[in-house]
Structure 1
Amino acid sequence: MKLRLIAALSGTLAMLSTVAAAADVDFAGKTVRIVQNYGAGGSTDLFARTIAPFIQKYLPGEPTVVVEPKPGAAGIQAGIYMHNSSKPDGMEICLCNSMPVRWVTVNDFEFDLRDLAIAGSHPVNTVVLIRDEMNVSKPTDLASTPKPLLFSATSPASENASRFVVFADIFGAKVNIIGGYQLAGNMVQSVTQGETTVTSLNSDYYAVQSTAIAEAGTVKPFGQVGVPNGDGFDPEPEIDAPTFDSMVREYAPEVLGTPKYKLFSAFNQAAAAQMIYLLAPGTPQEYVDAWQDAIAKAVVDPDYVKAVVGMEATVRPFTGEEGTRKMLDALYEGFKSPDVEAILRQLAPVYFK
């Protein structure tokens, strides 16, 4: 944990030296909102409520910060709200989880995700769990499981489920996504009880639930996205599973450089900006800077670090506006290339309905 914590915080500390103090912004005596895009009680809600008091501490004037769940449309509704209804006054920000892939790939939006003001983002590692009875110890086993690969997810358009669909297809396996599970706990229950055979959790929630999952004795971690390191992904050592990219490189090196691998890589890269902070279009830059500065300071606050480590969760580094926009530009370029989009249409047609 110590090495991972140092690595996570070093990038954020470096960014702090480049974040200018927001001038002429004062929230004193006001109430500001952090809108999060899933239901109350889930992992996104937990993250938002954990970091909110520390963002409050560092926003100019130390306003009251409240967290408001705004679920709907597989997490996209909150982004639509921020674009269409939120005022550009800096009084509310959306902590949107799993937003980038859905927004970039779905074609029927009237606006680009990059049209919104962006204060920064956090990477999110994802762990895939699979039932022991599936007899899967390596990716080449996926094509010959005794039962169908049924992936429990919040939605058929789940980013994590779609990533696994592409991964499994590389090894000749078909995955059926079973959407409609409201919370991570519901997905864990579905796979531990055999209603489904595969699911995914972010690494924070997995850390909290790992003991209970082990005691259930029916599922095991199969793979993880890992933590972005600039050139690829490092596995979180506390999770006894390899990264998906390392499995592809070891067991299917022939796909490297192909459009299918580019699609798989785009899903992985999306994890680097999976939790993104959005403000209304036209929000003055000084308000964007104020939020960016407050979040950057919050994630390195010793009391915040203590709270997160106390939950056996990961202290996620923070990437500011400039770095996040670069990642979004790369995502748009990756997903929108014709050869990659053709494969996405084949494997995940739900994004185009």
Structure 2
Amino acid sequence: MGSDFEARGPGRRRLLQGAAALGMATLLPAAAVRAQTNFAGKTIEWVIPFAEGGGSDVWARFMSPYLAKYLPGRPSVIVRNVPGGGSITGTNDFYQRARNDGSTFIGTSGSTQFPFLLGDRRVRYDYSNMPPVLVSPTGGVVYLPARFNVANARELGKIKDQELVYGSQGATSLDLVPMLAFHLLGLKVRHVFGMRGRGEGRLALERGEATIDYQTSSAFLTQVRPMIQAGNAVPLFSWGVLDAQGNVARDPTFPDLPHFVEAYEMMHGKKPSGVEYNAYLAFFGSGFAAQKPAMLPRGTSPEIIATYRRAFAEAVADPDLQAKKEEVLGDYEQAVGDNIQRLYEVATTIDADAREWVRNFLTTNHNVRF
């Protein structure tokens, strides 16, 4: 059954216009910020629009004590879960009701950004109005069963005419990224919907029901690497990461693997380009390279924005966090301070032509209704 959407522009112009003003917040002297903003004795709510125990919840609960340590006055920082509507419900409520006095902020994920980028008519939030204070990336790796005799991404052309099967969570879920990637590569992939998580997709491949899959970095390391070591699977490419200039670079967790753009070049002898690649890049950025942004409410003062940005920068640099981060954050560089804005733009904006192409692609190929 398709999803119903109506057009809603992501507000790229408003976001870019606001970038300079938000960037000024990082330029305020530390002493001036601390003199104007103090949360001593306060309780700060970090809203997570997902249920407890998921990736976003784990991320927020890991980060919150370090944030509390570096916010002026060392307030308590608690996580408040507001699940529902695939994260749209809690984000709508935050956007419409949250106080902009620094007492609350929100952390979303790619599955919150995707409905915004696609123009889901349920969305009432506008990322261009919520100043970002942290952006956390993640990664993933695409792999095949070894029985295809494809040794690496350079040999993908050997199976370009063979139908592959991918176990998907849905056409507008985070699995939209592999869907667009496989389409760009020119692979024939049949997407079978109904998986309740990437773990089910992996099990489908192990049973022989699926023939191509990807797993996020942590799941790949723990669940797929043993399959590779046993000779049963072959890694092809990672999604990659975005550098501070917005260029695709190799995933630091998998530096020996080509990223998607390199895999495309290996198959086609040229870099990807055009509206289809622009569409892929928008959803890859939102789903992986800048998957989890933390944002303050609209109308928050520059002083409070600067306070949060400085606190997150200090929290990320904390030696204890650095020693414990691998299981939750991986080897990925957390975007703080001056590195936030570019990644945030990539995660929350899409060119109008690219959005229209994706909508038509999903309607034509997967009966998603807009």
TM category (shorter chain) comes to: 0.7 to 0.9
Q: Does 1:28 pair with 2:40? A: yes
Query: Distance between the aligned counterparts of 2:329 and 2:137, measured in 1?
Result: 17
Native 8 Å contact 2:291 2:347 kept in 1? no
Q: Does 1:280 pair with 2:297? A: yes
User: Aligned to 1:306, which of 296, 312, 323?
Assistant: 323
Number of positions where the alignment pairs a residue of Structure 1 with one of Structure 2: 333
User: Aligned to 1:119, which of 110, 133, 136?
Assistant: 133
Instruction: Note the 1:135-146 alignment, pairs <5 A.
Output: 137-138=152-153, 139-141=156-158, 143-145=160-162
Native 8 Å contact 1:104 1:335 kept in 2? no
Q: What whole-Å deviation, never above 9, does each CA across 1:18-69 have from its counterpart, x for those lacking one?
A: 5743342222222222222433223322222222211111111112222233
Query: Distance between the aligned counterparts of 2:267 and 2:220, measured in 1?
Result: 26
Native 8 Å contact 2:44 2:77 kept in 1? yes
Which blocks of at least 5 consecutive residues in structure 2 are unaligned?
A: 1-24
| Stretch moving more, 105-114 or 280-289 | 105-114
Amino acid paired to 2:216: N
Q: Which residue in 2 is equivalent to 1:268?
A: 284
Native 8 Å contact 2:132 2:344 kept in 1? no
Q: TM-score, normalised by structure 2?
A: 0.75
Native 8 Å contact 2:101 2:300 kept in 1? yes
Q: What whole-Å deviation, never above 9, does each CA across 1:71-93 have from its counterpart, x for those lacking one?
A: 33333333222212322232222
RMSD of the alignment, in Å? 3.5
| Stretch moving more, 309-318 or 73-82 | 309-318
Q: Helix, strand or coil for the counterpart of 2:317? A: coil
Instruction: Note the 1:54-203 alignment, pairs <5 A.
Output: 54-98=66-110, 99-108=112-121, 109-132=123-146, 137-138=152-153, 139-141=156-158, 143-145=160-162, 148-153=164-169, 155-159=170-174, 161-177=175-191, 185-194=199-208, 196-203=210-217
Q: TM-score, normalised by structure 1?
A: 0.78
- Residue 140 of structure 1: how far off its partner (Å): 2.9
Amino acid paired to 2:251: P
Native 8 Å contact 1:151 1:199 kept in 2? yes
| Stretch moving more, 197-206 or 63-72 | 197-206
Whose Rg is larger? Answer: 2
Native 8 Å contact 1:55 1:295 kept in 2? yes
Indicate how the Cα distance of structure 1 residues 148 and 76 shifts in structure 2: closer, same or farther if over 3 A, else same: farther
Q: What is the identity percentage for the equivalent residue pairs of Structure 1 and Structure 2?
A: 21
Structure 1 runs, 4 residues or longer, greater than 6 Å off: none
Indicate how the Cα distance of structure 1 residues 250 and 148 shifts in structure 2: closer, same or farther if over 3 A, else same: closer
Indicate how the Cα distance of structure 1 residues 255 and 117 shifts in structure 2: closer, same or farther if over 3 A, else same: closer
| Stretch moving more, 69-78 or 44-53 | 69-78
Query: Distance between the aligned counterparts of 2:192 and 2:43, measured in 1?
Result: 39
Query: Distance between the aligned counterparts of 1:181 and 1:55, measured in 2?
Result: 35
Q: What whole-Å deviation, never above 9, does each CA across 1:91-133 have from its counterpart, x for those lacking one?
A: 2222212143432232534453112232231222222344445
Indicate how the Cα distance of structure 1 residues 148 and 209 shifts in structure 2: closer, same or farther if over 3 A, else same: closer
| Stretch moving more, 118-127 or 275-284 | 118-127
